[in-house]
Chain A
Amino acid sequence: MTTSPMTLPADARVAPDAAPKRIFGWLFAVAILAVMGAYVRAIYFTPIEAQQGAVQKIYYLHVPAWIACYLAYGLVAIGSVINLWLHDERADRLAASAAEVGILFNTVGLTVGPVWAKPIWGTWWTWDARLTSTLFLWFIFAAYLVLRGAIESPAMRARFSAVLAILGVLLIPFIHLSVYLFRTLHPMPIMLQPQALVNPPLSPEMETTFLVSSLAFLLLCVALVVSRYRLATLRAAADDAEGVGQ
């Protein structure tokens, strides 16, 4: 079957019978339990850092949130590339779902950072390369969601938003390297670097908490993308049943 890039294939539509019954599944429940477990471990079973004091425990939220954010935006890029290549509506749905979840973790990372910065740096925010570029990333994906809401044609919406998403994801390597390329108030990574494997910068308890928290946030990210994808499928089924866009 040949398909024009401006129209969706008929088999991409969602029959009402195929609409998911529930959007939250067992993976979501496991992810919630994992995040709660990570909280308990970070708060009650992880030692207080000697120099920064208790506020250093924000580390177990801040860095895992960014890792989850990058995973979500990576899924947006994968969905966008597949959509541009195959014009598959499911890939577009995956990209849109992961973008919303990415914005969630991006918001968490951007807002808990200043709560840590204020007592340690003495300021909530500084316009250095790392902080400014992460804020810019948030705006790009906020624009992505706005763009999706502004275009009525599903095929055109999928194509334009895929291009914006791919360009936005290209910013992520720059964000990671920004602390090496520029003088920034934001410190260099302590765990996300090869040297951490040879010479661990954290105590074993802190390292375990960081790993547990990172895995919990990654699990939550995947569970939320799955739930959001089911919601998108449900909405597509409702649109088809109402005859929207036909």
Chain B
Amino acid sequence: MTTPETTSWYHAAYAWVSAVYLAYFASLAVRARNARRRLERAGRGARG
């Protein structure tokens, strides 16, 4: 049996998984920044 030419398939899979992880890291960072801003605004409001 000859080995199929499948290099591009696995390159695509590795690239896709990396992209999914990066998108999730970015989503966590953005949501954390938004929560921190809410906390700061609430703190400023409480102080007057």
Contacts and interface: CB of A to CB of B under 8 A. Distances in A.
A35 B17 CA distance: 11
A58 B32 contact: no
A35 to B, nearest CB: 8
B32 A234 contact: yes
Interface in B1-41: 1, 3-7, 9-10, 12-14, 16-18, 20-21, 24-25, 28-29, 31-32, 35-36, 38-39
How many B residues are at the interface, by size bracket?
A: 20 to 34
A51 interface: yes
Interface of chain A, main secondary structure: helix
Given A115-B13, A231-B32, A108 B42 contact: no
A24 B33 CA distance: 12
Interface of chain B, main secondary structure: helix
A57 B15 CA distance: 13
A24 B18 CA distance: 18
How many A residues are at the interface, by size bracket?
A: 35 or more
B6 A112 contact: no
Contact of B14 (A39, A48, A53): A39
Contacts of A23: 28-29, 32
**For the complex of A and B, 6 pairs with smallest distance between CB atoms:** A55-B6, A241-B42, A53-B3, A238-B38, A54-B7, A234-B35
Interface of B: 1, 3-7, 9-10, 12-14, 16-18, 20-21, 24-25, 28-29, 31-32, 35-36, 38-39, 42-43, 46
